[in-house]
Amino acid sequence: MSQFSQTELKEFKTNVAGDVILPDDPQYDDVRQIWNAMIDRRPSMMVRCTSAADVIHSLHFINQHHLPFSIRGGGHNIAGNAVCDAGMMIDLSLMKGVHIDQERQQGTVEPGCTLADFDAAAQAYGLATPLGINSTTGVAGLTLGGGFGWLSRKYGMTIDNLLSMEVITADGQQRHASESENADLFWGLRGGGGNFGIVTRFEYQLHPVGPNVLCGLIVFPFDQAKAVITRFARFTETMPDELNVWLITRQAPPLPFLPEDVHGKEIVALAMCYAGDPAEGERHIAPLREFGTAYGEHIGVQPYTDWQQAFDPLLTPGARNYWKTHNFSTLEEGPIDAIIEYASALPSSQCEIFIATIGGQTHHALPEAMAYSNRDTNYVLNVHARWETAAEDAHCIAWAREFFARSQPFASSGAYINFLTGDESDRVAFAYGMSYERLVALKQKFDPANIFRVNQNISPI
């Protein structure tokens, strides 16, 4: 890394409208913190950008002085790629503009927005697009890795609803990427992560949703896990696209609809959302109650924005997190038995194994249509190890890795890039599958020096 003078630093500060934060500034430690407390990196400076112009100035300064750098949107990425050591963090979290065009049912979003920001703005008009399930997640990172959530079976992946982007590439140029302009770049940005540039504006197709939806939880005892998971696997193969049902195994949090003596016990929970007429939804979810004898349920009609925040209390920042992930096209006895085996030996009260159900409309795009190519995936399994102290690291990480290895023989192709941790660079090519060689060629074109490398990296060589 080359050095820069105080004069050059002063000039840079003058050029950017946002704050430039250095290690001796009082807010330094607060700004560098991200969601996963396992990540403790110390940038040499952080630029809190307020516009695309600030991003361009930052990238010019980086290129001039050969600085390593990272890009922060929501700071929620499990691998901690938002923050780097001894370089610049380009912090986009203050860029939170959202504009909803009600007539065209389209929304434009800046890269600092969280799901909560976007959902609230769109739902003011009864509109939404498929996003994730935790409202504090950043829209930018989620989108660039593919994106899926409760609405994906009905409306596809997040990237399936992406119309265009404004992106600043490695040469410092701002480009418009869409199906008709810089189409190759648009292809790569839809699933290619942060490998090709810094996106400063996203434009999405929106859909009528809610504002109230039928949603909620049914919680079963863990000793019924085999029957519940097996029935879940068969039910989700034929349910309508309007319905999405996810499965979670963990210790029961203190939910008010559960008896107190259930709190802290291992459970199997079904989480569901019906993106259609609630009365019709009640008919479709009725069979779920027959999967076993439930401890309790909390299902009803509530605002979509509330359901998008329902799991936030289990995913607060400040805990230590480590994930492992597989894709599955079907769930048969092998992976079900592996889930039960490891869910019965959770290493901390916050650990969980969840199965996100996608399929439906996510299958309709061709695998070659965009960088995300895993269009045969029906289930994304995430082993979510979460705990409080460094003393627990080895035990919790070993549990996640062992389950990952135990379930691997049953997995299908590819992996969801947003769920890869920082020690999985060897899985990047596998995650992208048939898209990888084309992504390498695109990297050679737009970032041959690989300056965008603090990510799940696609090397240009």
- In the chain, % helix, strand, coil (3-state, to 5) comes to 35, 25, 40
Residues 51 and 170 in one domain: no
**Which of 45, 74, 91 is a domain's end point?**
91
The mean of the pLDDT values for the chain is: 97
CATH code of 126's domain? 3.30.465.10
Query: Which tokens in the block code for residue 220?
Result: 């079963």
**What would the pLDDT profile of 38-61 be if each residue is shown by its tens digit?**
999 999 999 999 999 999 999 999
Give the C-alpha separation, 43 to 245, whole Å: 41
Number of domains in the chain: 3
Residues 387 and 343 in one domain: yes
Residues 204 and 137 in one domain: yes
Residues 289 and 359 in one domain: yes
Percentage of the residues of the chain whose pLDDT score is greater than 70: 100
Q: Is residue 310 part of a domain?
A: yes
Q: Is residue 334 part of a domain?
A: yes
**Residues in the chain with pLDDT < 70?**
1-2
Residues 203 and 225 in one domain: no
Residues 352 and 415 in one domain: yes
**What would the pLDDT profile of 99-135 be if each residue is shown by its tens digit?**
999 999 999 999 999 999 999 999 999 999 999 999 9
**Which of 47, 65, 91 is a domain's end point?**
91
- Concatenated DSSP letters of 212-280: EEEEEEEEEEGGGHHHHHHHHHHHTTTS-TTEEEEEEEEEPP--TTS-GGGTTSEEEEEEEEE-S-HHH
Residues 237 and 138 in one domain: no
CATH code of 326's domain? 3.40.462.20
Q: Is residue 69 part of a domain?
A: yes
Q: Is residue 460 part of a domain?
A: no
What is the span of the domain harbouring residue 60? 6-91
Give the C-alpha separation, 330 to 416, whole Å: 16
Residues 81 and 158 in one domain: no
Residues 134 and 71 in one domain: no
Q: Is residue 167 part of a domain?
A: yes
CATH code of 63's domain? 3.30.43.10
Residues 218 and 194 in one domain: no
Query: Which tokens in the block code for residue 406?
Result: 């135990």
Residues 102 and 230 in one domain: no
Please list, in sequence order, all residues whose beta carbon lies within 8 angstroms of the beta carbon of residue 141, skipping any fewer than 6 positions away.
73, 74, 76, 77, 82, 194, 418
Q: Give pTM, 2 decimals.
A: 0.96
Q: Exposure string (b/e) for 207-238, b if CB count within 10 Å is 16 or more?
A: bebbbbbbbbbbbbbbebbbebbebbbebbee
How many residues are present in the chain? 461
The pLDDT assigned to 118 comes to 98
The pLDDT assigned to 4 comes to 85
Q: Is residue 451 part of a domain?
A: no
**Which of 91, 122, 145 is a domain's end point?**
91
The pLDDT assigned to 2 comes to 55
Question: Is the peptide bond between 211 and the residue preceding it cis, with omega within 30 degrees of 0?
Answer: yes
The pLDDT assigned to 1 comes to 44
Q: Is residue 427 part of a domain?
A: no
Residue 195 · residue 458 · CB < 8 Å: yes
Residues 310 and 249 in one domain: yes
Q: Is residue 457 part of a domain?
A: no
